[in-house]
């Protein structure tokens, strides 16, 4: 007959509902009770968060990013406080007698650009473009890549062959050239840029997701889901996708700075958001001719802005990856 080892432990809980089911005596879990309830399990997410909080570099980067985000949000406030509009040209105070940009002084803390506009204010507004494009384009990239990767990995056979070859094809193109071609065709604009960057970059995410799915697909819990009668889409999004969240987050945090630079590169070659919108890449591009004439501030400050932003996201991305995978071997199945 049934052994009931749980009866031996102190404080074994009595389950009234179980009694109603005809006197089945379950082997009660050992010593559950009020004391055990206080011991809360820590989910993998909490562990990751605790790890990243201990990483000084990541926390500093996070702080920097917070500042950058605040600057982006408060750009109009900054402009109002300083008293200079973002596209306001100061032809008298902002340009020298011969029409050259004015260096950093008490009025223009970062100097002016070739049209007499306040560089500080323009950098603040440029933050908006960079962050907006960076985050949204990354989101699109991840979305497309994850869905395609899931489908390719799970369905296998013909679907996988087609999609995998498509990804290989896309990866064979140099990103920037492809983006330049597409943006030229569709005329530069904020939406076009975001969509083009998303469409050009998704293949690398798709590849990684596909690889993960191929190994997760063989796990027993997927077999169990099929035995329960789950359909393929349910298995993909409810069973497989949660196991991909960690690698996806890591990849996203490393992808954002890439996207920001990508957008700046497009602007640098003249395919960014149309002027007069403030944009770091455009500013760097415009500044290159003035650098030789001694207007170093025009080049240096936007470059620094780009550098600091990218660096902060990169360091945070590394920290996120280490937080999820401290031993460096568990993240990718």
Partner 1 sequence: MNTDLSATPQAPATDADVLLRVENLVKYFPVQSTRLIQRQRDMVHAVDGVSLEVRSGETLGLVGETGCGKSTLARCIMRLYEITSGRIVFDGQDISKLSVRRMRPFRRQMQMIFQDPYGSLNPRRRVGSIIGDPYAIHGIASGQERKRLVQEVMELVGLNPEHYNRFPAEFSGGQRQRIGVARALAFRPKLIVCDEPVSALDVSIQAQIINLLADLQAELGLTYIFIAHDLSVVRHVSNSVAVMYLGQISESAPVEQLWGHPRHPYTDALLSAVPIPNPDQAARRERIILVGDVPSPISPPSGCRFHPRCPKAGQVCVDDMPALSPRLGDGPDHLAACHFPVEDGEDISKARPTIGAEERIIEPGVVSGS
Q: Which position among 9, 11, 26, 99 is part of the footprint of partner 1 (CB under 8 A)?
A: 26
Dist. CA 87–CA 110, nearest whole Å: 15
Smallest distance, Å, CB 63 to partner 1?
Answer: 30
Q: Which of 7, 9, 18, 96 binds partner 1 (CB under 8 A)?
A: 18
Give the residue, chosen from 92, 231, 292, 329, that forms a contact with partner 1 under the rule CB under 8 A: 231
What is the C-alpha separation between 44 and 247, in angstroms, rounded? 13
CB atoms under 10 Å from CB of 70, counted, come to: 13
95 DSSP β-pair partners? 101
- Any contact of residue 3 with partner 1 (CB under 8 A)? yes
172 vs 227, beta carbon nearer partner 1: 227
Please report whether residue 242 would count as binding partner 1 according to CB under 8 A: yes
Give the Cα separation of 75 and 150 in Å (integer). Answer: 40
Select 5 or 275, whichever has its Cβ closest to partner 1: 5
Phi, psi of 21 (to 5 degrees): -85, 50
10 forms part of the interface with partner 1 (CB under 8 A)? no
Does position 114 interact with partner 1 (CB under 8 A)? The reply is no
Of residues 154 through 193, those in contact with partner 1 by CB under 8 A are none
Does residue number 223 form part of the binding site for partner 1 (CB under 8 A)? Answer: yes
**2 near partner 1, judged by CB under 8 A:** yes
Interface residue with partner 1 among 10, 34, 43, 292 (CB under 8 A) is 43
- Considering the rule CB under 8 A, would residue 44 count as an interface residue with partner 1? yes
Shortest Å, Cβ 332 to partner 1: 15
3-state helix, strand, coil in the chain (%, to 5): 70, 0, 30
Instruction: Determine if 228 is a binding residue for partner 1 (CB under 8 A).
Output: yes
List C-alpha distances in Å: 10 to 3, 33, 197: 16, 9, 62
47 binds partner 1 (CB under 8 A): no
Instruction: Give yes or no for a contact between 225 and 235, defined as CB atoms under 8 angstroms apart.
Output: yes
Nearer to partner 1, 173 or 237 (CB): 237
Phi, psi of 252 (to 5 degrees): -60, -45
Output the DSSP codes for 171-236. Answer: HHS-HHHHHHHHHHHH---HHHHHHHHHHHHHHHHHHHHHHHHHHHTTSHHHHHHHHHT--HHHII
Question: Where on the chain is the footprint of partner 1 (CB under 8 A)?
Answer: 2-3, 5-6, 13, 15, 17-18, 21-22, 24-29, 32, 37, 41, 43-44, 219-221, 223-231, 234, 238-239, 242-243, 245
């Amino acid at each position: 007959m049934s052994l009931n080892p749980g009866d031996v432990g102190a404080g074994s809980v009595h389950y009234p509902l179980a009694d109603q089911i005809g006197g089945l005596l379950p082997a009660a879990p050992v010593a559950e009770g009020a004391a055990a309830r206080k011991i809360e399990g820590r989910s993998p997410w909490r562990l990751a968060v605790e790890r990243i909080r201990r990483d000084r570099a990541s926390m500093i980067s996070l702080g920097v990013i917070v500042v950058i985000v605040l600057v982006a949000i408060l750009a109009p406030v900054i402009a109002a406080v300083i008293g200079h509009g973002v596209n306001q040209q100061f032809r008298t105070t902002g340009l020298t007698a011969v029409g050259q940009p004015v260096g950093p002084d008490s009025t223009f803390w970062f100097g002016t650009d070739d049209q007499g506009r306040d560089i500080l204010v323009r950098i603040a507004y440029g933050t908006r473009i960079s962050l907006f494009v960076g985050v949204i384009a990354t989101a699109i990239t991840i979305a497309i890549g994850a869905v395609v990767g899931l489908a390719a990995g799970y369905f296998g056979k013909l679907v996988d062959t087609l999609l995998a070859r498509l990804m290989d094809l896309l990866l064979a193109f140099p990103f920037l050239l492809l983006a330049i071609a597409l943006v030229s065709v569709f005329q530069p604009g904020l939406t076009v840029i975001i969509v083009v960057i998303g469409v050009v970059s998704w293949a690398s995410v798709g590849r990684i997701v596909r690889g993960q799915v191929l190994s997760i697909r063989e796990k027993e819990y997927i077999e169990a889901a099929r035995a329960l009668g789950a359909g393929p889409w349910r298995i993909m999004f409810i069973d497989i996708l949660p196991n991909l969240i960690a690698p996806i987050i890591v990849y996203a945090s490393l992808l954002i700075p890439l996207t920001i630079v990508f957008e700046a590169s497009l602007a640098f070659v003249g395919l960014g958001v149309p002027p007069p919108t403030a944009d770091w890449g455009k500013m760097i591009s415009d500044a290159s001719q003035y650098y030789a004439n001694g207007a170093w501030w025009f080049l240096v400050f936007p470059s620094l802005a780009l550098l600091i932003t990218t660096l902060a996201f990169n360091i945070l991305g590394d920290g996120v990856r280490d937080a999820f995978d401290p031993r460096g071997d568990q993240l990718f199945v």
